Amino acid sequence: MKRAVAPHRLLAAAALGLAVLLGGCGDPGNDKASSSPAVMTDEAIGHYCGMFLVEHIGPKGQILLRDQADPVWFSTIREVFAYTLLPEEPKAIVAIYVQDMGRAGPDGNPPDEAWIDAHAAHYVIESDTVGAMGAPDALPFEHLEQAQAFAQDHGGRIVGFKDMPEDYVLRYVEPNPESNRPAAPQPAGAPSS
């Protein structure tokens, strides 16, 4: 004799089965673990400035997009944030990486392997330093203690990714092309003149 299955057990089994099926179908846009930062080559060009990134001092950024093989490159960190704020830019973002200024050399450039998740970084803004193009920039640090030490030496304040002020990102600042001359580059982290 067959036993009838209670309707609430059928619903529970169906819900469990659906959860298992959906669990394996994660949103590829949120799968940051499988999206490693790209290697910045000498041919990497800034999205907004149209210049080679190697021509700029200071931290760079990259955004990985779904259905696009190459990253979108940025010569400043403020540009990374602008991309996420401007409505005309694609929003199929898989991952955002910035370079850790805690590992920058005396020339103001972090090493090639210094990419960190932009959402986890600590940003020093409004300091007495300049970044690419001689303009103020948000300087990312992987470790809070390094950001605090930098802010103590150079002023400014520390914000997280979600707390980055929109007016700081989108404010136009007249660039100082003198700071990017190859003969005398002024590294990010050096006092602005």
Query: Using one digit for the tens of pLDDT, what is the confidence trace for 72-118?
Result: 999 999 999 999 999 999 999 999 999 999 999 988 889 989 999 99
Spatial distance between the Cα atoms of 122 and 140, rounded to a whole number of angstroms: 6
Q: Which two tokens stand for residue 164?
A: 């980055």
> pLDDT for 147-170, tens place per residue?
999 999 999 999 999 999 999 999
Percent of the chain surpassing pLDDT 70:
72
Parse the chain into domains and list their residue ranges. 29-180
Q: What's the pLDDT at 187?
A: 55
Mean pLDDT computed over every residue of the chain: 80
Q: Provide the 3-class DSSP secondary structure of residue 63.
A: strand
What would the mean pLDDT of 30-35 be, rounded to a whole number?
51
Q: Which residues contact 50 (CB under 8 A, 6 or more apart)?
A: none
Q: Which of 136, 65, 144 is nearest to 97 (CA)?
A: 65
> Does 24 score more than 70 pLDDT?
no
What would the mean pLDDT of 23-50 be, rounded to a whole number?
72
Q: What's the pLDDT at 112?
A: 87
What would the mean pLDDT of 135-141 be, rounded to a whole number?
93
Identity of residue 42: D
Q: Which two tokens stand for residue 8?
A: 């609430």
What's this model's pTM, rounded to 2 decimal places? 0.75
Q: Which two tokens stand for residue 181?
A: 């001359």
Q: What's the pLDDT at 142?
A: 98
Q: What's the pLDDT at 18?
A: 35
The topology under which CATH files domain 29-180 is Alpha-Beta Plaits (3.30.70)
Continuous H helices in 24-160 = 77-85, 144-154
- Buried b / exposed e along 115-127 (16+ C-beta atoms within 10 A): bbebeebbbbbeb
